[in-house]
Amino acid sequence: MDSLESQKYKLSEHFQNERKNLGAYPEHLKNALSFKDTEEALKEITKWQGYEPTKLYSLSSLAREIGIHNIYYKDEGTRFNLGSFKALGGAYGVLKFIQNKLKKELSKKISISDIREGKFIELTKKYTVVTATDGNHGRSVAYGANLSGCKCQIYIHAAVSEGRQKAMEEFGAKVIRVAGNYDESLRICIEEANKNNWQIISDTSYEGYTQYPRYIMAGYTILAHEIANQLTEKDLPTHIFLQAGVGGFAAAIMAYFWEKYSEKNIKFIIVEPTLAPCLIESAKANELTVFDIQKETMMAGLSCGEPSLLAWKILDEGTDHFMTITDDRVPDLMRMLAKGKDNDPSIEAGECSVSGLAALIEVKNNDTMVKKLNLNDNSRVLLFGTEGATDPDIYKEIINV
């Protein structure tokens, strides 16, 4: 890659979405995701052993330094001891698949609790679920396979760390490493699934494959539901910064807050790495667009070149602003959160967890962006710590510099 090509990857971008739907959550988007999906996911996931809402911190000292009223930070690093919000989605998708298969095979209604308790183990062990992942989603799918007693095969790309591979294998998954990037691992995953009659459990949706990504997104909305409860006696956020890979997480959170608080006019800002900007490229083109990733970002969970179809439908209509950020600030922000700013708590934040904060700081350092986002000393910003130290060795290497 020559110097000119390298230079283009260092530039952050911003795109204001003039197609933003300012009204109530549209009925047609409820076909992609709605409160009904959230309610069904809540009934199941809140019964899992070890379930409890993750913490929502107020980072008032950091907010004061940045020049806004408050920062709410949802810390997903402790979720089910899996280290990320992904624990809510992939595992739920696996259990829904097993439930659907058993219902068809046995011609009767099957409860997921009976599946988790091993009552159908002789049947579930013959099924195989597969996925492609940068790490966190695969760990959740492996966890779900472990809960349900089915087999699990996971495809990872060349840049996924050994630590993240081992975390998946600890749940009994067979992990296959593929040359190339995430999108190549997904392509091979789909080919192998079709050839072997395995079930794909992916948070990436595409034509002909939307059922299980919808379940997965429904799982993600649980953390939005938790935030709504945690803010009962506090002011709602005025701005929500949402980091995005394929967009499933961002769309799930957006859909929940949009449907519940449409009259509040909360601004939604989508944040991507400059090295994997498939959503901002889609926004600029006004159609779902694939970006060919040439270089991997250190924010591994966001290194995705093709948007999720279901997610894009929601993000296209609900997003106010799309942004990209470079990797430059990530290590310093991880160390800052680990130390805690003045009276703020110490937080173990993985690489993807600081992307929203990096975008917020970039906005505040640009007067034009501040005006476009109407960000001021009365603003309350919601950020998501989507992962903790999902690879402890990488985390320690970054923090201890």
List the CATH number of the domain containing 103: 3.40.50.1100
pLDDT at position 5 over 70: no
Pair (75, 143) in one structural domain: no
The average pLDDT across 274-303 equals 95
In a domain, 208, yes or no: no
Number of domains within the chain: 2
Work out whether strand 56-58 and strand 70-75 pair parallel, antiparallel, or are unpaired.
antiparallel
Q: Is 134 a catalytic residue?
A: yes
Check whether residue 290 and residue 321 sit in a common domain.
Answer: yes
Domain that holds residue 333: 3-84+213-399
Spatial CB neighbours of 171, under 8 Å, sequence gap ≥ 6 = 139, 142, 143, 145, 146, 152
* Given the residues 37, 74, 75, 86, the one annotated as active site: 86
Annotated active-site residue 235? The verdict is: no
Give residue 11's pLDDT.
61
pLDDT at 3 over 80: no
Domain check: are 194 and 227 in the same one? no
Q: What is the pLDDT of residue 183?
A: 84
Plot region of 216 (φ>0 → left; ψ -120 to 50 → alpha; else → beta): alpha
For 180-200, write each residue's pLDDT tens digit: 888 899 899 999 999 999 999
Whether residue 320 is contained in a domain is answered as: yes
Q: Is residue 232 part of a domain?
A: yes
Q: End of a domain among 143, 175, 202?
A: 202
pLDDT recorded at residue 8: 40
Residues 224 and 76 in one domain: yes
pLDDT digits 0-9 by tens, 186-242: 899 999 999 999 999 998 899 999 999 999 999 999 999 999 999 999 999 999 999
- The reply to whether 314 falls in a domain is yes
Domain end among 202, 228, 249:
202
For residues 114 and 120, is the Cβ–Cβ distance under 8 A?
yes
Q: 334 with 271, same domain?
A: yes
Indicate whether 229 and 367 sit together in one domain.
yes
Q: Which of 172, 202, 232 is the last residue of a domain?
A: 202
d(CA 128, CA 125): 8
The answer to whether residue 77 is domain-embedded is yes
| Other beta carbons less than 10 A from residue 207's beta carbon | 6
| Pair 254, 388 in one domain | yes
Are residue 59 and residue 22 in the same domain, yes or no? yes
114 is a domain residue? yes
Whether 142 and 290 share a structural domain: no
Claim to verify: residue 265 and residue 294 sit in the same structural domain: yes
Whether pLDDT at 9 is above 60: no
Residue 360 pLDDT > 50: yes
In a domain? residue 99:
yes
Percent of the chain at pLDDT exceeding 70: 97
Clarify whether residues 316 and 338 are in a common domain: yes
Same domain, 222 and 364: yes
Residue 21 maps to a domain: yes
pTM: 0.94
DSSP state of 341: S
Query: Which member of 37, 75, 134, 316 is catalytic?
Result: 134
Q: Coil, strand, or helix at residue 143?
A: helix
